A and B are shown apart, each in its own frame.
Chain A
Amino acid sequence: MAEAQVPVTVLTGYLGAGKTTLLNRILSEQHGKKYAVIVNEFGELGVDNDLVVNADEEVFEMNNGCICCTVRGDLIRIIEGLMKRKDKFDGILVETTGLADPGPVAQTFFTDDDVKARTRLDAIVTVVDAKHFLSQLAQGDEAEEQVAFADVILLNKTDLVSDDDLEKVEDRINSINRYARIHRTQKSRIELDAILDKGAFDLKRILEFEPDFLHHGHDHDHGDEVASLSFSSDRPVDPDRFQKWMGALLQLKGQDILRSKGILAIDGAPRRYVYQGVHMMMDADWGTPWKDGEKRSSKLVFIGRNLDGENLKRGFEDCLK
């Protein structure tokens, strides 16, 4: 059965941010779509639904000596099981616990061949509690990393804060991850189109951004805080040099580089080369073709800690023809 890959949306967010409210709405609203929902706490959902599967967030370290190569084995098992059902899904939603690192969930979709064949990671959606986000940042790395991994952010509970405070929260989110699309919401109310089936980690978002290629002042010391950087060029990319550079870079700095993604114009290739990485794991594929006369430019984004902008820029430039 040659089937299309089922899109998977990963839903993260700190405790109490509004994930359960969002899930309940997805499960109870009439949208004509069929979603399987993988949750951690069965009881929390008010909806009794056959399509809700309980998972235990079982993370294991890959047996390859790399401590950031962690994967959710339970997800592999559940996705294989879901694919045995006669009824197919329009999408799968994976909820993580409030204190979870989104890394292992995302990496699962890079690691397992069976999962890769049947599903594709569509987007990481993070629900942020507008009222408590700034204080949550002080309580550990989780809130920051959830924003760092996000493709889409629901800035929720906006009714509970002043406009000034909301600006502050949004600025802080931008300083961590400028490439996530932010939707301001109350009670997690949002059109599902805005968060589901966005396509390939919402790479379009990258293209909308002016890169800080020659933009200085972005290399100021963030300390251990997560920040994002991007680079672009109109010169074609040499694929071998890029693979080699990126492979070595992630091997060395993969623990600090939470996300990396890019759309590259490869020398002589008719299609875009779409690249994405989570920590040390990376994946690349040919995307849509370039149109006649379209400007072929490449863009690369890094989100992580201790990003050395000068070094990354030089590395990327060395890959250009």
Chain B
Amino acid sequence: MKLDLANPDWRTALPPSRSVVADAPVAACAFSRDGKTVAFALGDGRVRLLPADVKAAAGAAPEPVHKGAVLSLIADPNGDGFLSGGDDGRLLRIAPDGSATEIVSQKGKWIDKLAAHRSNGAFAASVGKMALVVDRSGGCREFGPHQSTVAAVDFSKDGSRIATAHYGGITVWSIGQVTLPPRRFAWAGSHVALKWSTDGKFIATGTQENDIHVWRIAQASDMRMQGYPAKVKSLSWSADARWLYTSAQPVFTAWPFAGKGPEGKPPLQFGEEGAGLITVVAAHPASEFVAGGYDSGELQLGDIKTRRSVVLKMSDGSPVSCLAWSPDGFQLAAGNDNGDLLVIDLRR
């Protein structure tokens, strides 16, 4: 991985990129498993596909595949296309050519959160108070009902469990053949974001009360980090699970999870201040880099080793709503509330 932020080129010139203007807010973006395609979930029901290669010709805007807004989007773990969920209650498989097939349809429900496991091919969706898990062969199982709508879902590292966020805490469900009773981890209030750590040991949530909560799964012990000026809606674990990055701060903010964990320690903060608050944060899939999008529209790339950061895109007033790294970590996709789609090539 050669992303050298100390290189003066990074500070003087923005990297090569593709910018496309869509007509609706972007809810989510993702790279396909093979890294060849980027997809953007749009508020007009469209899923816009672009070649990851920023110089390749891009196709025209497709017809809408969802009836209302597309609320969630991830790479299809079983192919080179995508999965999308909408406020029309439908979960669709989007082929690399843009054609859509319906997997689930539940009228009146929203499918607003999706997660997949990298290697076992399973994916999970929030559908009202239930979590839905579809395995590699298409077998579908429901977990719940939870006491409130499932606000977020994520897989354990080994893919044998899912964790769901809801009122009053989180629930861990075993999704293997052997059915174990669900484990509840309680913390009062509404939990709105959830990420299972990349080493499988921790589950972090962002809460309605502007703080984050982290459970140590084996010991069932937990910790709370307070003092954020806004809800932490975006959480991202570094590839080596040593750091938990959080949004809702003016600079990159990473809690240290190596060794004894973050208890009693301040978070590591670095990056250029002055561009509002970070709305989305995305750790690099393999190395020490991290991307952050701001409510001002600015995009920064940080390096936690050197504590350096560079601006990838200037503020334009439209909050960054989503970020995604390509599987090889050389490209970054971003979308905003205005409907600007951006793919940046970071190879220099």
Contacts and interface: CB of A to CB of B under 8 A. Distances in A.
A63 B189 contact: yes
Given A42-B108, A113-B230, A86 B208 contact: no
Contact of B23 (A2, A64, A86, A112): A86
A114 B69 CA distance: 18
A280 B25 CA distance: 35
Interface string A48-69: 0010011010101111100000
B230 A62 contact: no
Interface residues of B, number: 38
Contact of B129 (A42, A56, A71, A77): A56
Contacts of A76: 190, 208
Contacts of A112: 208, 231
A79 to B, nearest CB: 12
Size category, A interface: 20 to 34
Interface string A103-119: 00000000011100000
Given A60-B190, A73-B167, A86 B42 contact: yes
Contacts of A87: 44
Contacts of A78: 110
B130 to A, nearest CB: 12
Nearest to B189: A63
B44 A86 contact: yes
Interface in B69-89: 69, 71, 87-88
Nearest to B89: A54
B324 to A, nearest CB: 17
Contacts of B43: 84-86
B171 interface: no
A74 interface: yes
B225 to A, nearest CB: 14
B167 A58 contact: yes
A135 to B, nearest CB: 33
B57 interface: no
A83 interface: yes
Contacts of B112: 77, 81
Interface in B285-336: 317-318
B195 to A, nearest CB: 18
B25 A86 contact: yes
Contact of B25 (A64, A84, A113, A114): A84
Interface string B153-174: 0000000000000011000000
A98 to B, nearest CB: 20
A1 interface: yes
Contact of B148 (A58, A85, A113): A58
B151 interface: yes
Given A1-B338, A81-B112, A63 B25 contact: no
B12 to A, nearest CB: 31
B139 to A, nearest CB: 27
A84 B231 contact: no
Nearest to B190: A73
Nearest to A78: B110
Instruction: Give the one of B148, B190, B337 with max A CB within 10 A.
Output: B190
B148 A73 contact: yes
Contact of A71 (B23, B69, B208): B208
Contacts of A56: 128-129, 148-149
B24 interface: yes
Interface in B37-79: 42-44, 67-69, 71
B69 A77 contact: no
Given A74-B148, A84-B71, A1 B337 contact: yes
A308 to B, nearest CB: 32
A53 B67 CA distance: 13
A81 B69 contact: yes
B201 interface: no
B27 interface: yes
Interface string B190-218: 10100000000000000111000000000
A77 B166 CA distance: 12
A255 to B, nearest CB: 19
B109 interface: yes
A2 to B, nearest CB: 8
A58 B128 CA distance: 11
Interface of B: 23-25, 27, 42-44, 67-69, 71, 87-88, 108-110, 112, 128-129, 148-149, 151, 167-168, 187-190, 192, 207-209, 230-231, 317-318, 337-338
Q: Across chains A and B, which 9 residue pairs bring their CB atoms closest together, nearest first?
A: A86-B24, A63-B189, A86-B44, A73-B190, A54-B108, A85-B69, A86-B43, A58-B148, A63-B188
17 contacts: A50-B88, A53-B110, A58-B148, A60-B167, A60-B189, A61-B189, A62-B189, A73-B192, A77-B149, A81-B87, A83-B25, A84-B25, A84-B71, A85-B43, A85-B44, A85-B68, A112-B208
